[in-house]
Amino acid sequence: MKQSLSMKLGQQLKMTPQLQQAIKLLQLSAMELSQEIQTTLDSNPLLEVADDWSEDSTEVDDSVDHYDNFDAELAPIDEFPDAQDLEQDVGAQLSEPLTEILEVDSTWDDVYPQAPAAAPASGEFDLDPGANNVTAPNLVDHLEWQLNLTPMAPSDRVVAMAIIDAIDADGMLSASIEEIRTTLFDPSLVDGDQINDDDIAQILERVQQFDPIGVGARDLRECLLLQLMQLDPATKWLEEALNVVDQHLDLLGAKDFVNLIKRTRLQEYQLSEIVFLIRTLQPRPGAAFDTADSDFVLPDVVVRKKSNRWLVELNPETLPKLRINDTYAGYIKNLNSGADKDFIKDNLHEARWFLKSLQTRHDTLLKVATKIVEVQQDFLEHGPEAMKPLILADIADQVELHESTVSRVTNRKYLATPRGLFELKYFFSSHVGNASGGEVSSTAIRAIIKKLTAEENPRKPLSDSKIAVILQEQNITVARRTVAKYRESLSIPPSNERKQFV
């Protein structure tokens, strides 16, 4: 191959540090943004939180933009000789294809890795982040507390502690008696002094009397039997329930009621009462003590109805009122050239661009959220069944931003509505054509399937084929396998597993 030199004239959009900062803030969640702001405040003395922030400043004025909530009054940027090169319209750059401003061997995830999205919370319309953060006591601590109140020999207490350590978060014993004995083996003792399986089994029976009832069970059958045996002996159908759990739990789990009636020789109404009693039991006794961290979600945008209009505003809890420290900024005019002046000037540049990036984030987020609410007003009025088909490209075209920008501004951003708290991505869904040539959102179809299964006759639950027929009657054409896919995404079991007695 012959080597040669050549010149080529072209334009290429480069990712400036300021644009990098704007994109970084754009894709941060509310909690991550709060941490980023605090980190910047700690590192930049030119930035400070305004002291005059009050609840009055969060009032919504319909005549002004709702997102103009923090001080953005800055000195002219051309005060510094090198600042003209930094002044670029970040908002305009965000409207460009983002994949074109990275190097060829780079991706967005290489620059700013995406964290997994939190599951959207639902329920009451509440902006209190602590409302969804409930702390439960630890199961092991709860069992050890009861052990300390139980009279027991020191050697037995050691065995009981080993048993408690082998209990998992569901409250079930995760190790066999033989495995527990192995962990307690002491080579310094002779065989006659070693703990045996019978001793461990007896101590296990004592631990199984602890609260919650059923804790320490080795399988589901034993767990349910322990709970039934703690009921009042006069409880109706108790003896029959013990027999069903002890001898026919496999048939009950498979909901094979025909064979269950044959095996137990019970009448249908009797079995119905027994099944109702068994359903009052807890198959996971340790569930109430699950100490897994429950992440709370702070909404970024709030939508509410006022005077028959849906108003969209940024959550003031996520909008700290930042400003430039005038005292430090004024030192530039009084200092001679040197390290001190360069330090203040550099931090002032960073503070100005940080405020500009924050403003860009708020403007973009509010613009996208407002357009989503405008498209999905029927959802706010009537619920998920009225959700309209929507893709990122639709919103990107309407707000004049690139599709990748809309994707990042809707990722891990949450909208608080009177119907609950939803991630902005929840409002985007694919579509299914109907018989009249229109389109129906897949989210709406899932909502209809959920409603149909909730209202079905439990004796004769709807099959996937029957649901497809019902949807066809509603002018929604979907195949049976599509219904099955949507049903599984809603964690709804098939019809044979939903069958039950009334």
Report the pLDDT value the prediction gives residue 243, as an integer from 0 to 100: 93
What's the confidence (pLDDT) of residue 75?
34
Q: In the prediction, which pLDDT does 185 show?
A: 76
pLDDT at 434: 66
Which residue among 386, 414, 442 closes a domain? 414
Query: Looking at the predicted structure, is the pLDDT value of residue 3 above 50?
Result: yes
Q: What is the pLDDT of residue 432?
A: 76
Please, which pLDDT band fits residue 501 given cuts at 50, 70 and 90?
A: low
Q: Could you report the per-residue pLDDT of 145-181, keeping only the tens digit for each?
A: 999 999 989 889 999 999 999 999 999 999 999 999 8
pLDDT mean across residues, the chain: 78
pLDDT at 67: 34
**pLDDT confidence of residue 187:** 67
pLDDT at 79: 37
Pick the closest to residue 226 from 271, 283, 142 (CA basis): 283
Q: Are 228 and 245 in contact (CB under 8 A)?
A: yes
Is residue 1 assigned to a domain?
Answer: no
Q: Is the pLDDT of residue 62 over 70?
A: no
**Average pLDDT for 386-399:** 90
Q: Which of 400, 377, 399, 401 is nearest to 387 (CA)?
A: 377
Model confidence at 113: pLDDT above 60: no
pLDDT at 12: 64
User: What's the whole-number mean pLDDT along residues 473-502?
Assistant: 85
328 pLDDT band (50/70/90 cuts)?
confident
| Pick from 18, 24, 34, 109: nearest CA to 350 | 18
| pLDDT attached to residue 281 | 93
Our count of domains for the chain comes to 3
Whether residues 302 and 330 share a domain: the answer is yes
As a whole-number percent, the residues of the chain with pLDDT over 90 amount to 30
Last residue of a domain, one of 244, 270, 293: 293
Residue 275 falls inside a structural domain: yes
- Using the Cα atoms of residue 233, residue 235, residue 241 and residue 243 in order, give the sign of their dihedral: positive
Residues 423-437, mean pLDDT to the nearest whole number: 78
* Amino acid 106: pLDDT: 32
- CA–CA gap between residue 157 and residue 406 (Å, rounded): 60
Per-residue pLDDT, averaged over 449-466, amounts to 89
Are 44 and 93 found together in one domain? yes
179 and 208 share one domain: yes
Mean pLDDT computed over 29-37: 87
Answer whether residue 488 is part of any domain. yes
87: containing domain: 17-130+298-414
Mean pLDDT value of segment 15-44: 83
Give the list of residues 6+ apart from residue 53 with CB closer than 8 angstroms, or none.
Answer: 320, 321
pLDDT at residue 51, rounded to an integer: 67
Give me the pLDDT at residue 235, please. Answer: 92
In a domain, 66, yes or no: yes
**Minimal CA–CA distance to 377: which of 312, 445, 423?**
312
Q: Alpha helix locations (H) across 208-267?
A: 220-229, 238-247, 249-253, 257-264
Of 429, 303, 315, the closest CA to residue 377 belongs to 303
Task: Tell me the pLDDT band of 116, cut-offs 50, 70 and 90.
Answer: very low
Residue 129 has pLDDT above 50, yes or no: no
Q: Tell me if 4 is assigned to some domain.
A: no
Any domain includes 423: no
2 is a domain residue: no
Does residue 313 register a pLDDT over 60? yes
Alpha carbon distance 287, 283 (integer Å): 9
Confidence class for position 373, pLDDT limits 50, 70, 90: very high
Domain match, 475 and 341 both: no
Q: Which residue has the higher pLDDT, 75 or 15?
A: 15
Residue 60 has pLDDT above 50, yes or no: no
Band of the pLDDT at 318, cuts 50, 70, 90? confident
Q: Are residues 242 and 306 in the same domain?
A: no
- Note whether 256 and 151 are same-domain residues: yes
Chain centroid to Cα 222, Å, comes to 34
367 and 312 in one domain?
yes
* CATH number of the domain to which 437 belongs: 1.10.10.60
What pLDDT shows up at residue 242? 94
Nearest to 91 by CA among 321, 318, 367: 367
> Has residue 92 been placed in a domain?
yes
Confidence of residue 70 (pLDDT cuts 50, 70, 90): very low
**Tens digit of each residue's pLDDT (9 = 90 or more) over 217-244:** 999 999 999 999 999 999 999 999 999 9
Asked if 302 and 288 sit in the same domain, the reply is no
Q: Which of 355, 383, 414 is the last residue of a domain?
A: 414
Name which residue leads in pLDDT, 159 or 113.
159
Distance CA 356, CA 323 (A): 11
Report the alpha-carbon distance of residue 170 to residue 174 in Å, rounded.
Answer: 10
- Read off the pLDDT band of 101 (50, 70, 90): very low
- pLDDT greater than 90 at residue 188: no
Q: Which of 21-25, 26-30, 93-97, 227-231 has the highest mean pLDDT?
A: 227-231
Let me know whether 267 and 372 are in one domain: no
- Does one domain contain both 144 and 285? yes
- Residue 317 carries which DSSP code? G
Asked whether residue 171 falls in the same domain as residue 275, the answer is yes
Percent of the chain with pLDDT strictly greater than 70: 77
E strands, 9-142, in order: 47-49
pLDDT at 502 over 80: no
pLDDT at 334: 77
The per-residue pLDDT for 452 is 92
For residue 94, which of 150, 160, 16 has the smallest C-alpha distance?
16
262 in the same domain as 283: yes
